[in-house]
Amino acid sequence: MQAVDARARQEGLRALDPETDPMIRLGMEVNSRGRVKKNSYGVLHLPWLATEHPEWAAQIETEVEQIRRGIKSAHGRSLRYIIWAGMGGSAEDKAFYLSAGLLLKRVRVFILDSTDPGKLSAILQEIARLEKAPIEQALRRCLVVGMAMGMTSYEPVVNLEKLDALYKNAKIDNRPNFIYLTLKGSILDAFGSERGFRRVELQLDNGNATAGRHSAPMTRGSLYPLAFNGVDIAAWMKAAELAETEVDAALKLAGFIQANARAGRDKVTLHLPRQWSGGAVWTKQDFEESLGKREDIGLKVVIHERIRPANYFPPKSASQDRCFLFFCVKDHTNPDSAKISALRRAGYPVAVIQLSGDQPIPHYMQFIHYVVFGLGYLREMNFVTQPGVELYKDYAREINEEAQTKGSIEKTDAWRSVMKADTRLNWMGGLSVDFGPLVRLGLLSAEDIRASHGNPTEVYAKAVESLRQNGAVSYGELTYFGDTRYQESGRRLLKTLNEAAELLFLSRLKMPVDVYEGPAMNHSFHEMIIGFGHGFSTVAIAEQQASIRSLGYEADYHRAQWLATLKALEDRNRAVVALTIKDSSVKSLKTLKAFFAETAKRVRRRLS
């Protein structure tokens, strides 16, 4: 792999023939004519190159200081806040660093990873609160970063456009305050260059060999926020280089995961130290978005789940579909060793990895990249492409264009097909569920709906139970399109969905559940849901959406992404229902909780 990567960098892509080396087909993008169009091994070669370029660490620190001085010179104020606009891999590493306390020392980092106006509004309100001044004053102390590693990624542009307008309304020259990281010629590049914003090369070698989820821990998109907060970049880079024995351990772990998946145990239940809770989604994304394309073998990384054997099938059961992966880190609050031992004694497959060193996070990230690489090799599949994510983005773009043509999202065919459907059943408190995709895919009959007398809890219970019993689904997914990070109402809603996951899917059906925020989920692990499938997806949104009227920021594109998610899943014959609630008020959350409680009661028996 090192040899073919070096050849690609030194001789160019034209020198490579995918038919002559499986490593080319594994980690490079090939066009329809069978020619290599991109070397994507940057995820592994950047740490190697860093050893040849010890000046890189100082270069990062110099660049960060230049940005800091530029803001100070232009506005007479020091940098205090970063608004990071990006999706999936462009954002999840920052969430990891935040949970580990790395981004709280000097400059506060806010992750703007959706086109929900409510999230942007909440971030601006929090910055104004911290600054103890109107947001117009605080803007001078902000750095706005847009990051997108796809040519067609539109989400960062939606947010940057509104933030640009905010600066213009305040009559602030924002060119020192905006930078962006993307590919030349992309939608984001066109937007940024038109406004005179500074484009920053993602890689220190000025190459283009990393996908978004592979940008951590060694690209500027990952290193900048760390450097702004005083992290030792030289030590960080050094920790990202694995010794041969550590690479060997990563490949052995890939073998452990692959052997269990072949035996039907494809639910890798991951437990990290408490201080690394934000790293679980980053890890999940790296695995699932990289390996989700094959339909014959899957890999579902289960995160944020308490160890409860009552929710698992017995070790010798033919239905037992889990293996367990624990990471322990020196001086961290690690998973309960007694529970690990109990799982082993009971006969569950368990792997434990012990990490050490002064910079364990980059070490961990690079270790995970090698595990993913090893699984790609064992599965004889490309681990860098993501066709499922592109499908959803294409649909979102089409729906948004139709909305603009017709005047609103409510006038689009996609909106009407959900909100006006005969298969949409109303429940109390303004909650509704559309079962249309299940009916159209033949996973549920129209007679099932008629027999329920219009009760969506009965239909939902029947659908998920029958699909679980016949093996069509083996995990659940609860995705809410709205901010669950910065607004208290969103955090309460996320808690409600986690409780629903425990009550219905885990306790009654012994199914692990993905509970997350959309559309970040689409970039984080949508590939496994669309590719391998076997999930029962509930894609939720509130009918009442936030807006920022002063910026003309409505939630139309956000709702287009919700509709696009439904369409993409149905298009790939995946079990999905659309759930809507009136709003995110306490009353609506009680309704949502009651809906899943009633549905759980209607599941006839607890599986054993």
CATH code of the domain covering residue 159: 3.40.50.10490
Interval 91-110 mean pLDDT: 94
DSSP 548: B
Task: Give the pLDDT confidence score for residue 356 in this predicted structure.
Answer: 86
pLDDT digits (tens, 9 = 90+) for 476-531: 999 999 999 999 999 999 999 999 999 999 999 999 999 999 998 887 788 899 99
- What's the rounded Cα separation, in Å, for the pair 598 and 538? 16
| Encoded amino acid at 527, one letter | E
In a domain, residue 608? The reply is no
pLDDT digits (tens, 9 = 90+) for 339-353: 999 999 999 999 999
Which residue(s) pair with 4 in the sheet?
none
Closest among 198, 215, 107 to 146, alpha carbons compared: 198
Task: Give the pLDDT confidence score for residue 385 in this predicted structure.
Answer: 87
600 conformational bin, left if phi > 0, alpha if psi -120 to 50, beta if neither: alpha
Per-residue pLDDT band for 105 (boundaries 50, 70, 90) equals confident
Which residue(s) pair with 576 in the sheet?
537
| Max intra-chain CA distance, the chain | 70
Indicate the burial class of 470 (C-beta count within 10 angstroms; 0-12, 13-18, 19 or more).
exposed
Lowest mean pLDDT among 70-84, 139-153, 401-415: 139-153
Interval 411-437 mean pLDDT: 96
In a domain, residue 607? The reply is no
Question: Are residue 264 and residue 398 in the same domain, yes or no?
Answer: no
In a domain, residue 399? The reply is yes
pLDDT digits (tens, 9 = 90+) for 406-421: 999 999 999 999 999 9
Task: Give the pLDDT confidence score for residue 32 in this predicted structure.
Answer: 86
Three-state secondary structure call for residue 40: coil
The pLDDT mean for the chain works out to 94
Contact 236, 362 (CB under 8 A): yes
Can you spell out the DSSP letters for 115-146? --HHHHHHHHHHHHHHHTS-HHHHGGGEEEEE
Q: Which domain holds residue 500?
A: 387-602
Q: Cβ–Cβ contacts within 10 Å for residue 222, how many?
A: 25
Sequence-ordered strand ranges (E) for 527-607: 535-542, 575-581
Question: Are residue 426 and residue 403 in the same domain, yes or no?
Answer: yes
Per-residue pLDDT band for 605 (boundaries 50, 70, 90) equals low
Question: Which percentage of the chain shows pLDDT scores above 90?
Answer: 87
604 has a pLDDT exceeding 90: no
Task: Give the pLDDT confidence score for residue 323 in this predicted structure.
Answer: 98
Q: Cβ–Cβ contacts within 10 Å for residue 550, how many?
A: 10
Question: Are residue 352 and residue 408 in the same domain, yes or no?
Answer: no
Joined tokens for residue 262:
């072949």
Contact 149, 210 (CB under 8 A): yes
Lowest mean pLDDT among 74-83, 205-214, 246-255, 545-554: 205-214
606 has a pLDDT exceeding 70: no
Question: Are residue 30 and residue 159 in the same domain, yes or no?
Answer: no
In a domain, residue 475? The reply is yes
In a domain, residue 87? The reply is yes
Question: Are residue 370 and residue 516 in the same domain, yes or no?
Answer: no
In a domain, residue 529? The reply is yes
Task: Give the pLDDT confidence score for residue 212 in this predicted structure.
Answer: 83
Question: Are residue 198 and residue 315 in the same domain, yes or no?
Answer: no
Question: Are residue 459 and residue 522 in the same domain, yes or no?
Answer: yes
Per-residue pLDDT band for 392 (boundaries 50, 70, 90) equals confident
Task: Give the pLDDT confidence score for residue 150 in this predicted structure.
Answer: 74
Task: Give the pLDDT confidence score for residue 36 in this predicted structure.
Answer: 92
User: In the listed set 172, 200, 235, which residue is the last one of a domain according to the structure?
Assistant: 235
Question: Are residue 333 and residue 302 in the same domain, yes or no?
Answer: yes
Per-residue pLDDT band for 229 (boundaries 50, 70, 90) equals very high
- What's the rounded Cα separation, in Å, for the pair 100 and 94? 10
Three-state secondary structure call for residue 66: helix
Question: Are residue 321 and residue 441 in the same domain, yes or no?
Answer: no
User: In the listed set 217, 235, 253, which residue is the last one of a domain according to the structure?
Assistant: 235
| Encoded amino acid at 126, one letter | E
pLDDT digits (tens, 9 = 90+) for 359-391: 999 999 999 999 999 999 999 999 998 887 788
Question: Are residue 291 and residue 221 in the same domain, yes or no?
Answer: no
Joined tokens for residue 161:
């456009």
Interval 218-245 mean pLDDT: 97
Interval 31-60 mean pLDDT: 94
Question: Are residue 207 and residue 270 in the same domain, yes or no?
Answer: no
Task: Give the pLDDT confidence score for residue 607 in this predicted structure.
Answer: 61
Contact 386, 527 (CB under 8 A): yes
In a domain, residue 417? The reply is yes
261 has a pLDDT exceeding 60: yes
Closest among 594, 591, 577 to 424, alpha carbons compared: 577
Q: Which residues contact 439 (CB under 8 A, 6 or more apart)?
A: 423, 445, 446, 449
